[in-house]
Amino acid sequence: MLRGYQAGDLEAMYALDVACFEKPFRFTRGAMRRFAEAKKARVVIAEEGDVLVGFVILHIEEAKEGRVGYIITLDVAPELRRRGIAGVLMTEAARQAQVDGCAVLVLHVFTGNEAAIRFYAGTGFVRSHRAEGFYGPGVDAWVYHKPLLSLND
Ligand SMILES: CC(C)(COP(=O)(O)OP(=O)(O)OC[C@H]1O[C@@H](n2cnc3c(N)ncnc32)[C@H](O)[C@@H]1OP(=O)(O)O)[C@@H](O)C(=O)NCCC(=O)NCCS
């Protein structure tokens, strides 16, 4: 089941992020709260029963070329991977970005994150360039983007 963010989700989101990422890729509690509770944030939570099993945080950014949906993070519980949860979360995040008038989704991913790179490559994202030192000295990211159809077309 998918739903929106509630303040009580923060601890489970933080714990899942710790399970998903090593330093320097994981967020502090404070950063997670700021990202999830920003006015421009759209958060999609995946739940099984009453257990939070995945989430995506999207920010709606104003850019020169128009609105951009920036994926802050996408996390799925390790024991529940390869069941399509990330696919469902990203489909809903893309829909919400379209509703907010975004023409494109953009994200950074660590160049060594094979699972995520395969996921994005298989779900319509296109690699645009390498962001050197994005995660710290010598720790680079790939930048991916995915065009979105306008809901007015
Ligand atoms: C990347 C991640 C979100 C994928 O979540 P998921 O729920 O397992 O993904 P899905 O089940 O929707 O995968 C859809 C497809 O993506 C590809 N894929 C996903 N994980 C993969 C892996 N480990 N190896 C190869 N392909 C993979 C496959 O094509 C898969 O389809 P298939 O299972 O039918 O072969 C998950 O591995 C994760 O949370 N990783 C840690 C956090 C992270 O790196 N987030 C992204 C940060 S930018």
Q: Identify the CATH number of the domain in which residue 100 sits.
A: 3.40.630.30
Residue 152 lies in a domain: no
- Strands, E assignment, the chain: 2-3, 41-48, 51-63, 66-76, 104-110, 126-131, 141-147
pLDDT band at 74 (very low <50, low <70, confident <90, very high): very high
Residue 61 lies in a domain: yes
Report the pLDDT averaged over residues 14-35: 95
Nearest by Cα to 31 from 57, 53, 54: 57
Residue 69 lies in a domain: yes
153 by DSSP, 3-state: which?
coil
The DSSP secondary-structure symbol of 62 reads E
Give the distance (Å) from ligand 1 centre to CA of residue 136: 24
Q: Which long-range contacts (CB under 8 A, 24 or more apart) does 35-40 make?
A: 35/59, 35/72, 35/73, 36/5, 36/9, 36/10, 37/5, 37/7
Which ligand 1 atom is the nearest neighbour of the CA of 107?
48
Tokens standing for 130? 């390498």
Give the distance (Å) from ligand 1 centre to CA of residue 46: 15
pLDDT (0 to 100) of residue 30: 97
This prediction's pTM: 0.97
For 130, the domain range is 2-147
pLDDT (0 to 100) of residue 83: 98
Q: Which residues line ligand 1 (CB under 6 A)?
A: 20, 73-76, 81-87, 107, 109, 113, 115-116, 118-119, 122
Which ligand 1 atom is the nearest neighbour of the CA of 116?
1
Report the pLDDT averaged over residues 33-46: 98
Give the distance (Å) from ligand 1 centre to CA of residue 93: 16
Residue 62 lies in a domain: yes
Q: Name the percent of the chain lying above pLDDT 90.
A: 94
Domain count, the chain: 1
Q: Which position has the token pair 């699972």?
A: 115
pLDDT (0 to 100) of residue 29: 95
Residue 84 lies in a domain: yes
Nearest by Cα to 14 from 57, 49, 71, 67: 57
Residue 52 lies in a domain: yes
